[in-house]
Structure 1
C-alpha cells in the first residue's frame, strides 16, 4: 500500500512539472495555480509540492533533460556489463550537470531548507534516483534487494550536482577532472557490489 501511495505522489509531481513545461513552451510564465489547473490537480496540493512558480519553472527545465538521459543509459547492447551502463549514466549526468549547473544550484537553494512535503515525499524530485535504478536494472535478481538498494543509494551520492559542487568548489577540480573522479567512484561501487562483469579503465 505504501509503495502505491509513493507511486501516486511521484505521478502527482510529474504531472505538475509536465504541465508547467507545456505552458512554458507556449511562451507563458505560469503561476503555480495556473499549472495546477492545467494538470487538473488541486491548487493546495500543487503548493505543497512547489511553493513558488520559480521553483516549478526550474524543475520543468530540468525535466526536459530526462529523455536524453534515458536514451544515453539504454544506448548499449542488451548483454553489456552493468559497469558500461553506469559509465554512460555518469557521462550523461556529468554533461547535463555542466550544461545546467546554475539551474541545479538554484534547485538546491529552493529546497535545502525545506522539510519533506509529506511522509514519503522528499522536497526534491527523484530523477537521479530513477536514472540510477534504470542503469542497474540488469542486477535485479542478481543482487539481493538490500544490496541493490545500497548500491543505488551510494551511486546517487557520488554523481550529480552535489558531488560536482564538492569537487569544484572545495577540491578545485575542473570539469574533466570531476568526471574522472565521478567515474572512478561509481565504478568502484559497482565492483564492490559485485555488479561489474569486468574492470573498466577510467581515462
Structure 2
C-alpha cells in the first residue's frame, strides 16, 4: 500500500509572519497607514507579537513593497522575437520595445494605487533615503536587457541617451504623466507609450 505524502503545516511563526506580510500588502493596496499597529490589527495579532516580526514602520513598508517588485520581475517576461534574427534586426527591436512597454504599462495600471502610494512615500523628506523610486518596478533591468539587442554600431552615448529616454515609460511615472497631465484613458496611454518606445528605438538605430 502506497503511503500518501505528508504536507507539513506551517509553524505558528511562519503563519504569523505570513499574516503580517499579507496585512502590510493590504495596507499598501488600500492606502491605509503603513504602521506596525495597523498591520497588527489587520492581521489579528497583538502589537507585542507584531513588533517581534516588524520592529518598526519601515519594516512594514519593506514587507508591503517587496512582493510588488517581485511580481513585476516574475510575471513580466521580455517579449520573444518571432524569429531568431529579430532580436538584433532594425525592424524587430522597436517592436520588442513597444511590446515590453505595453506589458509593463498594463502591470503599472493594475497596481496604480500601490505605485502612487510608493511614489508619494518616496517624495516625503523623512523617507527620501528609505523608499528608492528606481527600485519599484525593476525598470533598469528591463531597459538594460532591451538595449543589449541594439546593433553593434550604436554608440555608447546613444545607448545611454535611449536608456534615459525610456525611463518615463515605466512604473508610476508612466501612470502619472499619461493620466494626470495628458488626461488620456488607459488604452490611449498604453498605445502612446508603446509608440514612443518603438519610435525612440528606431530613431536611435537610424541615427547610428
Question: Which TM-score applies when normalising by structure 1?
Answer: 0.64
Aligned residue for 1:137?
148
Aligned residue for 1:155?
166
Contact 1:94 1:159 in 2 (8 A): yes
Q: 1:178 to 1:79 in 2, by over 3 A?
A: same
Larger radius of gyration: 2
| Structure 2 residue corresponding to 1:170, chosen from 171, 176, 181 | 181
Superposed CA offset, 1:145-182 (max 9, x none):
22111101110123332122121122221111101111
Aligned residue for 1:27?
18
Contact 2:105 2:174 in 1 (8 A): no
Aligned residue for 1:112?
123
Alignment of 1:63 with 2:70, yes or no, is yes
Superposed CA offset, 1:92-144 (max 9, x none):
10110121111111111221234446xxx955416011111112221163322
Question: Alpha-carbon deviation of 1:26?
Answer: 6.6
Superposed CA offset, 1:9-48 (max 9, x none):
xxxxxxxxxxxxxx7997231579848xxxxxxx9xxx9x
Q: 1:137 to 1:110 in 2, by over 3 A?
A: same
Structure 1, unaligned runs of 5 or more: 1-22, 36-42, 197-203
Alignment of 1:88 with 2:89, yes or no, is no
The whole-number CA distance in structure 2 between the counterparts of 1:151 and 1:158 is 12
Secondary structure in 1 matching 2:81: coil
Contact 1:151 1:189 in 2 (8 A): yes
The whole-number CA distance in structure 1 between the counterparts of 2:122 and 2:59 is 11
The whole-number CA distance in structure 1 between the counterparts of 2:195 and 2:146 is 16
Corresponding residue pairs, total: 157
Aligned residue for 1:75?
80
Aligned residues: CA RMSD: 3.2
Secondary structure in 2 matching 1:65: helix
Structure 2, unaligned runs of 5 or more: 1-13, 22-49, 87-91
